[in-house]
Amino acid sequence: METLKRYRWPLLLVVAGFLGYRLFLSGSTNNVKTAAPGIERFPYPTDRLHESQGEYILKDIQEGKIDLSLELVRLRRDCAGELDEAACHEKIRQVIQNLPGKDKGRLLELFEQYLQFEEKMRQNLPANFAQLSNQEKYKLMKKARREFFGEANANLIFGLEEARIALQEEQGKFNSPEYSNLSADERLRLYSDRKKDILGPYYQATIEREPPDIRYGTELMLTQADLARLPETERAKVMSDLRIKHFAPVEAQRLEQQEKQALQADSEALAKMDQFLAAEKEYLRNNPSKSDSERQAAIEDLRRRYLGQ
C-alpha cells in the first residue's frame, strides 16, 4: 500500500496529461468537419485528403500535412457499415479522382499498390506472427513495406506514421535512469532536439498543428519526476502555470477541476483499498483454522463489500 501511495503523484501527473487530451478533444469536436468513427486524433491532427485543395498534394504528404496511411484508413472507416469492401475502395478511387491539382494520378497508383500490398501481407504472414511482440511485428512490417514499395514510395505512404511511432518510443526512454539526474529543463531541451531529428521533414508541420493537449501531456510526462518531489503548494502553482501556458484560461480552469476530481477519486480508491487490506488481515488473523476455499470465499466477499469488485 505504501508503494501505491509513493507513486500516487507521478501517476496522477500522467493522468492529468490524458485529461488535457480529453478536455481539448471534447471542446474541439464541433470544429471537426468530418470525423471518421474509430479514428483517434492522437498524436497530431492532419488535413483530410478529400478536403485538400492544393495543386500539389504529394508535397503536403511529404511535409507531413497529410498522413497518407492514416487517411486511407479514415476513408475506409467513413464508409464502414454502408458499403462492402469493393464498393468502399471504389468510393475512395472517386474521392482521389475528384481532387484538384496534378497529383491524383500518382495517388491512384499508390492506392492500387497499397491494396495489392495488403492482399500480399494477408497471404504471406509468417506462421509465428501471432507470437511475435509488437516491436517484432512492426519491424517485420517495415521491412515488408520497403521490399514491396521501394524506399521512396514506402516513405511517402508510411513515413509520417513511422516517424511518430519512433518519437513515441523515444519518449519512453526519457523515464529511464539515464535521464533521471537531469533537470526538467534539460530533459525538455533534449527531447525537443530528438523530436526535431526524428520527425525530420515532418517537424515543421507537426509543431504548427500540434494541439495544446499533446504539448501539455508531453511536458507533464517529461517533468513528472521533478513535480512529484515538490511540496504540494508549490506543485499546485507549477501545475497551474503549466495549464495556463498550454491552454486558454477557460480550458485551463476546466482541466484543473477535472484533475481535482481525479485526485479525489484516487484518494477515495486508496482509502477503500486500505480498509479492504485491513479487513482481510483481520479476517486471516481471526480465522486460522478455515480451509483455503472458505478463506478465499470470505476474502472475495470482503473485496466486493469494500471495493465493489
Q: How many structural domains is the chain composed of? A: 1
Q: What is the pLDDT of residue 43?
A: 57
Classify residue 254: in a domain, yes or no.
no
Classify residue 122: in a domain, yes or no.
yes
In three-state secondary structure terms, 309 is coil
For residue 210, report the phi and psi dihedrals to the nearest 5 degrees. Answer: -65, 120
Classify residue 128: in a domain, yes or no.
yes
Classify residue 74: in a domain, yes or no.
yes
Query: C-alpha grid cell for residue 32?
Result: 471537426
Closest of 229, 186, 164, 211 to residue 17, by C-alpha: 211
Classify residue 72: in a domain, yes or no.
yes
**This prediction's pTM:** 0.73
Classify residue 81: in a domain, yes or no.
yes
Instruction: List the domain range (segments joined by +) for residue 63.
Output: 42-210
CB 11 within 8 A of CB 262: no
**Separation between Cα atoms, residue 90 and residue 58, nearest integer Å:** 21
Classify residue 252: in a domain, yes or no.
no
Per-residue pLDDT of the chain (309 residues; tens, 9 = 90+): 444 444 455 444 544 444 444 444 344 434 433 433 334 555 567 788 888 888 889 999 999 999 999 999 989 988 888 889 999 999 999 999 999 888 999 999 999 999 999 999 989 888 898 899 999 999 999 999 999 999 999 999 999 999 999 998 898 888 788 887 888 899 999 999 999 999 999 999 999 888 888 888 889 888 888 888 899 899 889 989 999 999 888 888 888 888 888 878 888 888 999 999 999 999 999 999 989 999 999 999 999 998 886
Closest of 297, 36, 197, 91 to residue 46, by C-alpha: 36
Classify residue 250: in a domain, yes or no.
no
